[in-house]
Amino acid sequence: MIKEFFSKERAEKERKEFFEKIKNHFIKTEDSTYTYRDPQIQETMHSVTGAYDESIYKFCIPSVIEKRKYLLDLFSGFGYNASAALEMNPQLKIDMIEKDPEILLMGLLIPDISEAHRKIKGAIESSLYDAGFIKNRVYESPENVHLFIEDALEFRFRDIYDVIFHDAYSPEKDWKPYSLNFFKKLYKVLERTGVLITYSSSSAMRATLLEAGFYIWASKPHRRKRSGTIASKIDLKLRNLSKKEERIIALTDLGVPYIENRDVLRKKLRNRTLFSSSIKLCFENIYNFGEKSNISERERNRAERSIKRMELTEEEIKYIVCPQYEKCICGMCHRRYKNTTERIKEMKFRLLKLKGINNK
């Protein structure tokens, strides 16, 4: 229906009238901007609490976009992220990548948010026009923004960026945009002091970033309990993950990276090398490593059964989790660990070392 509409020349007024006719196919979010629920993926493209609001608080603010020079906007969709970035930093150079022309056509129909949004629409429109998807242009295309109608996973990157927005559907719906191979490609095109931003808080996704060579940090949560993720090439001394989140990534099968046959590997390692993902509470809940917390009898029994199958002693568990403490609790450490990335890597190394696997 949308492709058919754009098969003829359409003035801006016609586009607005057409959107009024089809807007029941879209979802109006709490900030009055629109999103779309993909019928195949069965997931909305943006948060229903505010599509544009999400761009500002989950991408632009955590990346300190006003200080950036060159943005790679992956899985651009309607162009909200690029619009918010350009509004906050009008001099920003932006490369957008989106493979689905129909999503881009939808982006031309949704109401304008700002002058920056109109410029992003101009970049989208220019590429769609050049590719033959539309017959005329009504927006002015900015010189500092370019859209590539290509699959980001297959894209041949030629430039280096100081900020990357990664805004794919959730890894539970499609893990390939979060795969180890793709994150390795992004690592190569990120400037040394740059950042990669994603709304996702997936443990497996964060483990994949670590495996690709990134440091990982937590962005400030916005309208939900869990934070997004900031990745960098160097220690930027940002917000660390919680102790519980570090342990899930380092020590449970939820922290197996997104690679081919991941589920097979998880099953192979579970309760033999790695703790079961059912153990989401801190281990001091079981062994009281100097911290007070509550744990139900059922949770205690489940955790202890997993530990028993792994054949680990209390002293060995203290050795594994010791990197998270300000002072050594295992009596075997020669240094302390400064950030989430160091702690996760060291805990995983210690666990695998005890299981007879060299992880370094």
Per-residue pLDDT reduced to its tens digit, 63-106: 999 999 999 999 999 999 999 999 999 999 999 999 999 999 99
The pLDDT score that the predictor gives to residue 283 is 47
Are 193 and 340 part of one and the same domain?
no
Whether 238 is in a domain gets the answer no
Whether 237 is in a domain gets the answer no
The pLDDT score that the predictor gives to residue 41 is 85
Q: What is the mean pLDDT of residues 123-135?
A: 96
Lowest mean pLDDT among 85-99, 274-288, 325-339: 274-288
The answer to whether the beta carbons of residues 169 and 41 sit under 8 Å apart is: yes
**SS3 letters for 306-348?**
HHHHHCCCHHHHHHHHHHHCCCCCCCCCCCCCCCHHHHHHHHH
Closest of 144, 150, 170 to residue 85, by C-alpha: 144
Are 186 and 251 part of one and the same domain?
no
Confidence of residue 295 (pLDDT cuts 50, 70, 90): low
The pLDDT score that the predictor gives to residue 359 is 60
The two structure tokens encoding residue 213: 């060579």
**SS3 letters for the chain?**
CHHHHCCCCCCHHHHHHHHHHHHHHCEECCCCCEECEECCCCEECCCCCCHHHHHHHHHHHHHCHHHCCEEEEECCCCCHHHHHHHHHCCCCEEEEECCCHHHHHHHHHCCCCCHHHHHHHHHHHHHHHHCCCCCCCCCCCCCCEEEECCCCCCCCCCCCEEEEEECCCCCCCCCHHHCHHHHHHHHHHEEEEEEEEECCCCHHHHHHHHHCCCEEEECCCCCCCCCCEEEECCCCCCCCCCHHHHHHHHHEHHHCCCCCCHHHHHHHHECCCEECCCCCCCCHHHHCCCCCCCCCHHHHHHHHHHHHHHCCCHHHHHHHHHHHCCCCCCCCCCCCCCCHHHHHHHHHHHHHHHCCCCCC
Are 170 and 38 part of one and the same domain?
yes
The answer to whether the beta carbons of residues 234 and 70 sit under 8 Å apart is: no
Are 290 and 220 part of one and the same domain?
no
Is pLDDT of 360 > 60? no
| Dist. CA 1–CA 248, nearest whole Å | 46
Are 206 and 335 part of one and the same domain?
no
The pLDDT score that the predictor gives to residue 184 is 98
| Dist. CA 67–CA 150, nearest whole Å | 28
Whether 340 is in a domain gets the answer yes
Whether 359 is in a domain gets the answer no
**What percent of the chain lies above the pLDDT cut of 70?**
92
Are 161 and 83 part of one and the same domain?
yes
Q: How far is CA 233 from CA 71, 187, 239, in A?
A: 16, 8, 15
Whether 318 is in a domain gets the answer yes
The pLDDT score that the predictor gives to residue 289 is 45
303 vs 351, higher pLDDT: 351
| Dist. CA 314–CA 322, nearest whole Å | 12
Whether 107 is in a domain gets the answer yes
pLDDT, the chain, mean: 90
| Dist. CA 65–CA 55, nearest whole Å | 11
Are 216 and 263 part of one and the same domain?
no
Considering 183, 206, 232, which residue would you say is the last residue of a domain?
Answer: 232
**Amino acid present at 157:** F
Are 350 and 218 part of one and the same domain?
no
For helices 203-211 and 180-189, angle between their N-to-C axes, nearest 10 degrees = 50
The two structure tokens encoding residue 174: 């499609």
The pLDDT score that the predictor gives to residue 1 is 87
Are 24 and 84 part of one and the same domain?
yes
Is pLDDT of 297 > 80? no
What range defines the domain where residue 340 resides? 243-354
Whether 160 is in a domain gets the answer yes
Closest of 51, 263, 72, 84 to residue 182, by C-alpha: 72
Considering 196, 213, 232, which residue would you say is the last residue of a domain?
Answer: 232
The answer to whether the beta carbons of residues 64 and 71 sit under 8 Å apart is: no
Confidence of residue 209 (pLDDT cuts 50, 70, 90): very high
129 vs 280, higher pLDDT: 129
Are 68 and 48 part of one and the same domain?
yes
Are 168 and 249 part of one and the same domain?
no
**CATH number for position 206:** 3.40.50.150
| Dist. CA 236–CA 193, nearest whole Å | 8
Please give the model's pTM, rounded to 2 decimal places. Answer: 0.92
Is pLDDT of 282 > 60? no
Closest of 94, 44, 59 to residue 229, by C-alpha: 59
Q: What are phi and psi of 196, to 5 degrees?
A: -110, 130
Number of domains in the chain: 2
| Dist. CA 111–CA 118, nearest whole Å | 10
Are 23 and 160 part of one and the same domain?
yes
Considering 202, 232, 262, which residue would you say is the last residue of a domain?
Answer: 232
Is pLDDT of 287 > 50? no
